[in-house]
Structure 1
Amino acid sequence: MQLEKLVLILSAVIACVFSSKLLDQEWQAWKAKHEKKYSNFRDEMFRRKAWEETWHKVQKHNELANQGLSKYRMAMNKFADMTPQERTSRKCFNSNRMSTSHDNVPVQDSYRTLNMPKSKDWRDSNCVTHVKNQGHCGSCWAFATVGVFESHHCIKTKELINFSEQQLVDCDTGNDGCCGGLPEKAMAYVTKHGIMKSQDYEYADKQFNCLYKPDNSLAFNVSKYYLLPGEENMAMSVAFDGPISVGIDASDDFSMYCNGIFDGDCSTEPNHAVIVVGYGTEHDQASGEDTDYWIIKNSWSADWGEEGYVRMKRNENKCGIGSDASSVDLAR
Structure 2
Amino acid sequence: MYLNRSLCVFATLLICTWASSFFDLEWSTWKSKYDKKYPTTKEEQLRRKIWEDTWHKVEEHNRRADRGLSKYWMAMNQFADITPEEVKRRSCLKTNGAEASAPSLSYGLRDGLPDHVDWRESKCVTEAKNQGMCGSCWAFATVGVVESRLCIKNHKLIALSEQQLVDCDNVDEACCGGLPIYALKYITENGVMKAEDYEYETRQKECAFKEDKAMTLNLTKYYNLPDENSMVSSVALEGPVAVGFAVDMDFMHYSRGIFDGDCAENANHAIIAMGYGIEKDEDGEEQPYWIIKNSWGEEWGENGFAKVQRDVNMCSISSFAASFDFLE
Please classify the TM superposition score into its range, dividing by the shorter chain length.
over 0.9
Is residue 2:272 matched to residue 1:307? Answer: no
**Aligned residue type for 2:271:** V
Q: Work out whether residues 192 and 216 of structure 2, in 8 Å CA contact, stay in contact via their aligned partners in 1.
A: yes
Q: Work out whether residues 248 and 268 of structure 1, in 8 Å CA contact, stay in contact via their aligned partners in 2.
A: no
Stretches of structure 2 that go unaligned for 5 or more consecutive residues are: none
Partner of residue 75, structure 1 = 75
Counterparts of 1:193 and 1:64, CA distance in 2:
50
Is residue 2:209 matched to residue 1:212? Answer: yes
**Aligned residue type for 1:71:** K
Q: Work out whether residues 228 and 325 of structure 1, in 8 Å CA contact, stay in contact via their aligned partners in 2.
A: yes
Q: Work out whether residues 79 and 87 of structure 1, in 8 Å CA contact, stay in contact via their aligned partners in 2.
A: no
Q: Work out whether residues 107 and 229 of structure 2, in 8 Å CA contact, stay in contact via their aligned partners in 1.
A: no
**Aligned residue type for 1:303:** E
Partner of residue 180, structure 1 = 177
**Aligned residue type for 2:126:** T
How many Å apart are 1:268 and its aligned residue? 4.9
Is residue 2:319 matched to residue 1:323? Answer: yes
Partner of residue 283, structure 2 = 287
Counterparts of 1:34 and 1:88, CA distance in 2:
22
Partner of residue 260, structure 2 = 263
Counterparts of 1:58 and 1:95, CA distance in 2:
31
How many Å apart are 1:113 and its aligned residue? 4.3
Counterparts of 1:20 and 1:189, CA distance in 2:
53
Partner of residue 21, structure 1 = 21
Partner of residue 86, structure 2 = 86
Partner of residue 102, structure 1 = 100
Q: What is the aligned counterpart of 1:152 among 149, 152, 171? A: 149
Q: Work out whether residues 107 and 233 of structure 2, in 8 Å CA contact, stay in contact via their aligned partners in 1.
A: no
Q: Deviations over 1:155-198 (max 9, x none)?
A: 11111111100000000001000000000000000000000111
* RMSD between aligned residues: 1.3
Counterparts of 2:110 and 2:308, CA distance in 1:
25
Could you state the TM-score of these two structures normalised by the residue count of structure 1? 0.96
**Aligned residue type for 2:222:** Y
Name the % identity: 49
Counterparts of 1:311 and 1:75, CA distance in 2:
15
How many Å apart are 1:116 and its aligned residue? 2.0
From the superposition, tell whether residues 31 and 158 of structure 1 become closer, same or farther in structure 2 (CA, over 3 Å). same
Task: Decide which moves more: 312-321 or 109-118.
Answer: 109-118
Counterparts of 1:67 and 1:10, CA distance in 2:
33
**Aligned residue type for 1:302:** E
Counterparts of 1:201 and 1:59, CA distance in 2:
42
Q: Work out whether residues 134 and 175 of structure 2, in 8 Å CA contact, stay in contact via their aligned partners in 1.
A: yes
Q: Work out whether residues 110 and 233 of structure 2, in 8 Å CA contact, stay in contact via their aligned partners in 1.
A: no
How many Å apart are 1:87 and its aligned residue? 2.7
How many Å apart are 1:112 and its aligned residue? 3.6
Counterparts of 2:68 and 2:182, CA distance in 1:
41
Q: Secondary structure at the match of 1:87?
A: helix
Q: Which 4+ residue blocks in structure 1 deviate beyond 6 angstroms?
A: none
Q: Work out whether residues 281 and 291 of structure 1, in 8 Å CA contact, stay in contact via their aligned partners in 2.
A: yes
Q: Secondary structure at the match of 1:149?
A: helix
Stretches of structure 1 that go unaligned for 5 or more consecutive residues are: none
Counterparts of 1:207 and 1:31, CA distance in 2:
27
Counterparts of 2:100 and 2:33, CA distance in 1:
43
Q: Secondary structure at the match of 1:199?
A: helix
Task: Decide which moves more: 16-25 or 81-90.
Answer: 81-90
Partner of residue 40, structure 2 = 40
Counterparts of 1:181 and 1:77, CA distance in 2:
26
**Aligned residue type for 2:100:** H
Partner of residue 223, structure 1 = 220
Could you state the TM-score of these two structures normalised by the residue count of structure 2? 0.97
How many Å apart are 1:152 and its aligned residue? 0.9
**Paired positions, count:** 328
